[in-house]
């Protein structure tokens, strides 16, 4: 069994925040793969289903970001799972918008949700880092992550979430490259179509014989003996 966790803050006021893209990711997986309805458990919202051959529990902690580890630890303990069975989706300032990376272990980079998980479980779990970009000034980080995605982000965000949902079975099976390939198929710009080969120019028509009146006396004499 795998536990797939999306990090975010509960409530409608936070629903479209950049900081909630982890919630958006597990919502997309639940919808695309026909998971059971969300229900309250482990201080969060859970949905059960299957991704390929793997039984999976999706979890959205409702503890607010800085206490996410409490909810995740309760779910792991109930199912007797290890951090190696845990995959966490979270926003990542240090990646360009729409870029995705997968890693196991590592630091928290100041992310309050990851800090809570690290404190409660240690670092040995898989992170799916979903790029939201950086506002360019650290003083702007808080209002940026706690602000809604811009309308201009809608197209790439929709493609990204579709790609995450399509690649989720590979991720649950431990195939990170397969997961990233599925995301890339949705988010990479289409390859330019090759230009058709230039058609060769038709040959010039053969030159017409000169009219009789333009022919020399010698040419007209030759014509008489043909």
Burial of 64 (0-12, 13-18, 19+ CB in 10 A): middle
Q: How many CA atoms lie within 13 A of 225 on its CB side?
A: 4
Residue-level pLDDT, tens digit, the chain, 226 residues: 999 999 999 999 999 999 999 999 999 999 999 999 999 999 999 999 999 999 999 999 999 999 999 999 999 999 999 999 999 999 999 999 999 999 999 999 899 999 999 999 999 999 999 999 999 999 999 999 999 999 999 999 999 999 999 999 999 999 999 999 999 999 986 666 677 766 766 666 665 555 555 666 666 666 666 6
19 is catalytic: yes
CATH fold of 2-187 reads Rossmann fold (3.40.50)
Residue that the structure tokens 């199912």 belong to: 79
R_g of the chain computed on alpha carbons:
31
Give residue 51's pLDDT: 98
Give me the catalytic one of 17, 19, 33, 111: 19
Give residue 199's pLDDT: 72
Helix (H, G, I), strand (E, B) or coil at 74: helix
Cβ(104)–Cβ(124) below 8 Å = yes
- The string over 103-113, giving b where at least 16 C-beta atoms fall within 10 Å of a residue's C-beta and e elsewhere, is eeeeebeebbb
Bridge-based pairing of strands 54-61 and 2-6 is: parallel
């Amino acid at each position: 069994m795998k536990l797939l966790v999306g990090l975010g803050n509960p409530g409608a006021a936070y629903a479209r925040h950049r900081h909630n893209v982890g919630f958006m990711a597990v919502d997309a997986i639940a919808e695309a793969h026909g998971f059971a309805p969300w229900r309250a458990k482990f201080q969060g919202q859970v949905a059960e289903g299957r991704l390929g051959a793997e039984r999976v529990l999706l979890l959205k902690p409702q503890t607010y970001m800085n206490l996410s580890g409490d909810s995740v630890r309760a779910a792991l303990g109930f199912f007797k799972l290890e951090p190696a069975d845990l995959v966490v989706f979270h926003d990542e300032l240090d990646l360009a918008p729409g870029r995705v990376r997968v890693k196991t272990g590592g630091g928290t980079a100041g992310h309050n949700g990851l800090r809570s998980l690290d404190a409660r479980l240690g670092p040995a779990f898989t992170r799916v880092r979903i790029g939201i970009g950086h506002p360019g000034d650290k003083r702007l980080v808080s209002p940026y992550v706690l602000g809604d995605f811009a309308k201009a982000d809608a197209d790439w965000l929709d493609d990204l979430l579709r790609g995450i949902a399509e690649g989720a079975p590979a991720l649950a099976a431990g195939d990170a490259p397969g997961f990233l390939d599925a995301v890339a198929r949705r988010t990479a710009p289409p390859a330019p179509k090759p230009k058709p080969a230039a058609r060769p120019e038709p040959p010039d028509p053969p030159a017409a014989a000169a009219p009789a009146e333009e022919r020399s006396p010698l040419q007209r004499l030759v014509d008489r003996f043909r």
